[in-house]
A = this chain, B = another copy of it.
Amino acid sequence: MKTKKSSDFHEWYPEVILSAKLADYAPVHGCIIFRERGYAIWERIQQSLDAKIRAMGVKNAYFPLFIPESLLKKEAEHFEGFVPEVAWVEKKEGDEERVALRPTSETVIYYMYSKWIRSHRDLPLKLNQWCNIVRWEIKQTRPFLRTREFLWQEGHTAHATQEEAEAQVKDALNAYVDLIEGELAIPVVAGRKTKVETFAGAVYTTAVESLMPDGRALQMGTSHYFGDHFPKMFGIKYMSEEDGVERFCHTTSWGVSTRLIGAVVMVHGDDKGLVLPPRIAPEQAVIIPIFKEETKAPVFKKCEEIRKKLEAAGVRAVADYDDAHTPGWKFAECELRGIPLRIEVGPKDIEKAQVTAVRRDTGGKSAIMESELAAKVQELLDAIQSNLFERAKKFLEENTVAVKTNAELKKALDGRKMAKAAHCGGEACEQKIKDETGGGTIRCIPFRQEKVSDKCAGCGSPAKYTVLIAKAY
């Protein structure tokens, strides 16, 4: 690593991604290649989240990349929210209508729901898709965080009642909290967005937010309640069971994207490179032989034995037998790549029937008796997972400060902190805060309310609730 995280975070971020081979820049502006290690992280996220999605009774489907202009424009506010970033396909001879590349799929999915839903028996209808999304970003793009194409999951559900739909909004958000805290080891704050920050077309938006090392917040996932707004627009009606009257459905949508990989890089990485939480690491342990020419054969043999034992115990273990590089070079390379655990095997280890384990997160070294290998390695991996979470939690707590006045708010944001502040709920005040702090936005109204003051930090009028304010990605 040429750049240290501690000295130049914004240079460090793309460097660590490229060096750790998570991604590379594509020959098209604003797009990246997900290289095998980066994509493997996404596959682990998919695996974990897909199980949670199925457990909610949601099924996977696939809707087209293409959305006709008329359909996308059907809901004006929704369309306006996306229009600068919508990419269109060049019309060819014979094409009836201009089509867009999906910036999100509400419109095409609701169009189909209006055909599929007839009776209460068709409800709830809960579908999810894993797909690519196109938003023709004009702002500066950054790998994983903002690219013209990204991968995501979008769930879309239709329900008979508001209660059911709102429960779904909550369940989806909770699944994201579990995923992000449990697998990615990133603590989040869950809350509701203000009207200004609500998704185009939604009644309300809930979100999970987390804090990056540069003091900026990153929106990690959102879950929206649409009420019967889209159903009225698209005619999604069902014949109710009790009274045989036609009623509009209540709908929700919710999603997380490959942006999560960017959060993992930012939150856990350090001056030496990437640090990956064991649960989503492509390789959890790397075995490195320490040998001279005369000890090569027995050391390699032992390494392979160790690797197989770990593999059999369900640990994703690899061994590095490349003999063009020194162990020291390999250590640095594994650190760069963020492999959670390094296992060194040399002649002395073999003599003592042990291996030497080195943690990526703390650098802590320990000897593990071969007889206890699988159990101890699993223990260490669990310890690394918890430590990463606790470390990030401590950072979040230490960098979230309660502020009571405009001056304190500005000072907090300038000092790369996230502010916890009372707010009046006014849109003009929200805009004023943004202008005066140079981009500070209300990230959310946390579900867990904690009283900071009776008066709005922005304008001094009576406070309605406590909000989190930060500059954001």
Contacts and interface: CB of A to CB of B under 8 A. Distances in A.
Interface string A209-237: 00000000000000000000000000000
Nearest to A258: B62
Given A65-B134, A65-B149, A89-B101, A29 B60 contact: no
A379 B199 CA distance: 52
A464 interface: no
Contacts of A67: 27-28
Interface string A31-45: 111111011101100
Interface in A48-78: 59-68, 71
Given A66-B149, A99-B28, A61 B39 contact: yes
Nearest to A147: B64
A82 to B, nearest CB: 14
Interface stretch (A107-115, A339-347, A403-411, A424-432): A107-115
A34 B59 contact: no
A364 interface: no
A245 interface: no
A28 B60 contact: no
A39 B62 CA distance: 7
A87 interface: yes
Contacts of A31: 64, 66
Contacts of A195: none
A108 B23 CA distance: 14
A38 B63 CA distance: 12
A121 interface: yes
Contacts of A148: 66
Contacts of A149: 64-66
Interface residues of A, number: 54
Contacts of A42: 62
Nearest to A43: B60
Interface string A112-125: 10011000010000
Of A34, A71, A111, A322, the most chain B CB neighbours within 10 A belong to: A34
A33 to B, nearest CB: 5
A354 B149 CA distance: 55
A146 to B, nearest CB: 15
A61 B88 contact: no
A302 to B, nearest CB: 24
A164 B221 CA distance: 44
Q: DSSP majority for the A interface?
A: mixed
A28 B64 contact: yes
Interface stretch (A90-98, A273-281, A441-449): A90-98
B35 A61 contact: yes
Contacts of A39: 59-62
Given A88-B89, A88-B90, A121-B324, A36 B59 contact: yes
Contacts of A35: 61
Contact of A111 (B27, B61, B94): B27
Interface in A126-162: 127, 131-132, 134, 136, 138, 148-149, 151
A92 B116 CA distance: 36
For the complex of A and B, the 6 pairs showing the least CB-CB separation, nearest first, are A34-B62, A36-B59, A31-B64, A88-B90, A28-B66, A26-B64
Interface of A: 24, 26-29, 31-36, 38-40, 42-43, 59-68, 71, 87-90, 92, 94-96, 99, 101, 108, 111-112, 115-116, 121, 127, 131-132, 134, 136, 138, 148-149, 151, 322, 324
Given A33-B112, A89-B101, 12 more contacts: A29-B95, A29-B96, A35-B61, A36-B127, A39-B61, A40-B60, A42-B62, A65-B132, A65-B149, A89-B89, A90-B90, A121-B322
